[in-house]
């Protein structure tokens, strides 16, 4: 039986006035789509330019732990030149509310993303994943190869092949993860966005993503804050539950890496891996290990870049992705 949202989980889209605050987001709209009877918030852009023709390639964007569809906001419109683009809120994150049947684990998120593709009417797509979203996308491509044409992994939360070789987290990483686990991530993000509070936890969270948090334009920080902000205690409880359960699931996969490594070896789709040498959450050493095991994949470990290239340096992200997609199209 399809899950049904409770009466406290309205199907109406949240306020989207923030989309009009930045010209970089022209053409992006917010929608609530039906996925097996439950409302799911997405940000989407229709295909433009060459992407409207027969070579149009749908692209689905999957965010990381504690994030939302807004993590992709600066790259949605540019990516739509190659085809329609949708960034989705995973259950409990952003504005997708939980339902009783949700499994807040990496396998549960894989199943959810698979159903999102069906709800969109896409037989297959290029799937982008950042951090936890990259781990989800990896398992999706291995379990459902028929729906993943190409795979773009941005600082994917992949484990080392040997759990004993896990690297101890850095102090900034620990601070950032503790911040994400607070009752409301919105307080730290919104405080940093408005300049009302410069406490170390807020700075640590933004420092995981941006080389210089003070240089980030206010509209982007406000968008992140708006997606995390809620005065609804049930929605905040959803987010806490999703953070706890998803974090525990990632930890289990890192401590028992064999299933993820089977997935890495099984992937058939052409794959691009982007990471940063200054990433405190996904060390470059781990991504080098992954790329050494898959020499057919394309990888770029970019000097001094951090955990979410599409947020911190969107133009650099787009340059790498566009070049890779063009080369793959020519090869095909």
Q: Give yes or no for residue 215 having a pLDDT over 80.
A: yes
Write down the pLDDT at residue 12.
Answer: 55
Distances (CA, A) of 62 to 8, 55, 136, 232, 233: 25, 22, 8, 24, 25
Q: How confident is the model at residue 177 (pLDDT cuts 50, 70, 90)?
A: very low
Given this model, what pLDDT does residue 182 score?
35
Q: What is the CA radius of gyration of the chain?
A: 18
Residue 134: name the closest of 74, 76, 60 by CA: 60
What is the per-residue pLDDT for 199? Answer: 53
CA distance 46 to 19: 15
Among 10-14, 40-44, 281-285, name the one with the lowest average pLDDT: 10-14
- The reported pLDDT for the residue numbered 163 is 61
The predicted structure's pLDDT at residue 200: 59
Rounded distance, CA 250 to CA 109, Å?
A: 11
Per-residue tokens: 322: 């566009």
Listed in order, strand segments (DSSP E) in the chain are 29-35, 38-45, 59-62, 85-88, 125-130, 148-154, 271-276, 298-302
Q: What is the pLDDT of residue 236?
A: 84
Q: Are 155 and 307 in contact (CB under 8 A)?
A: yes
**What pLDDT is stored for residue 317 in this prediction?**
98
pLDDT tens per residue, range 229-282: 677 888 888 988 999 999 999 999 999 999 999 999 999 999 999 999 999 888
pLDDT band at 225 (very low <50, low <70, confident <90, very high): confident
Q: Quick one: DSSP state of residue 213?
A: G
Q: How confident is the model at residue 193 (pLDDT cuts 50, 70, 90)?
A: very low
Q: What pLDDT shows up at residue 214?
A: 79
The mean of the pLDDT values for the chain is 84
On the question of pLDDT at 331 being above 60, the answer is: no
Q: How large is the average pLDDT for residues 103-122?
A: 97
Pick from 309, 106, 289, 284: which is nearest to 209 by CA?
309
Helices vs strands, H then E, count in the chain: 12, 8
Which has the minimum average pLDDT: 110-114, 170-174, 296-300? 170-174
User: What three-state secondary structure class fits 122?
Assistant: coil
Q: Which long-range contacts (CB under 8 A, 24 or more apart) does 27-34 make?
A: 27/77, 27/80, 28/73, 28/76, 28/77, 33/116, 33/119, 33/120, 34/119
Least confident of 1-15, 41-55, 133-147: 1-15
Selecting from 3.40.50.300, 3.40.630.10, 3.40.50.1820, 3.40.50.920, what CATH number does the domain 18-169+256-331 have?
3.40.50.1820
N residues, the chain: 332
Tell me, what's the pLDDT at 327? 86
How does pLDDT run across 33-92, given as a tens digit for each residue? 999 999 999 999 999 976 555 457 899 999 999 889 999 999 999 999 999 999 999 999
């Amino acid at each position: 039986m399809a899950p049904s949202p409770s009466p406290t989980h309205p199907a109406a889209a949240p306020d989207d006035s923030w989309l009009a605050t930045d010209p970089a987001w022209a053409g992006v709209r917010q929608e609530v789509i039906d996925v097996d009877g439950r409302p799911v918030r997405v940000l989407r852009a229709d295909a433009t330019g060459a992407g409207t023709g027969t070579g149009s390639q749908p692209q689905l964007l999957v965010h990381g732990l504690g994030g939302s569809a807004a993590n992709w906001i600066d790259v949605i419109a540019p990516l739509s030149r190659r085809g329609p683009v949708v960034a989705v809120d995973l259950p409990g994150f952003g504005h997708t509310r939980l339902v009783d049947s949700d499994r807040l684990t990496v396998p549960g998120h894989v199943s959810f993303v698979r159903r999102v593709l069906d709800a969109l009417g896409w037989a297959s797509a290029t799937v982008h994943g950042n951090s936890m979203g990259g781990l989800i996308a990896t398992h999706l491509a291995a379990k459902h190869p028929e729906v993943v044409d190409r795979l773009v992994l941005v600082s994917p939360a992949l484990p080392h092949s040997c759990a004993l070789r896990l690297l101890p987290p850095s102090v900034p990483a620990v601070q950032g993860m503790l911040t994400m686990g607070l009752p409301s991530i919105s307080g730290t993000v919104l405080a940093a966005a408005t300049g009302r509070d410069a406490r170390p936890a807020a700075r640590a969270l933004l420092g995981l993503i941006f080389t210089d948090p003070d240089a980030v334009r206010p509209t982007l920080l406000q968008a992140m804050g708006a997606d995390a902000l809620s005065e609804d205690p049930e929605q905040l409880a959803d987010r806490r539950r999703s953070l706890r359960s998803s974090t525990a699931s990632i930890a289990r996969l890192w401590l028992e890496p064999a299933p993820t490594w089977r997935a890495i070896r099984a992937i058939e789709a052409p794959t691009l891996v982007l990471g940063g040498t200054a990433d405190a959450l996904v060390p470059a050493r781990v991504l080098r290990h992954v790329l050494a095991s898959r020499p057919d994949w394309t990888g770029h470990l970019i000097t001094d870049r951090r955990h979410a290239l599409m947020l911190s340096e969107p133009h650099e992200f787009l340059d790498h992705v566009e070049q890779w997609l063009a080369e793959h199209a020519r090869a095909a």
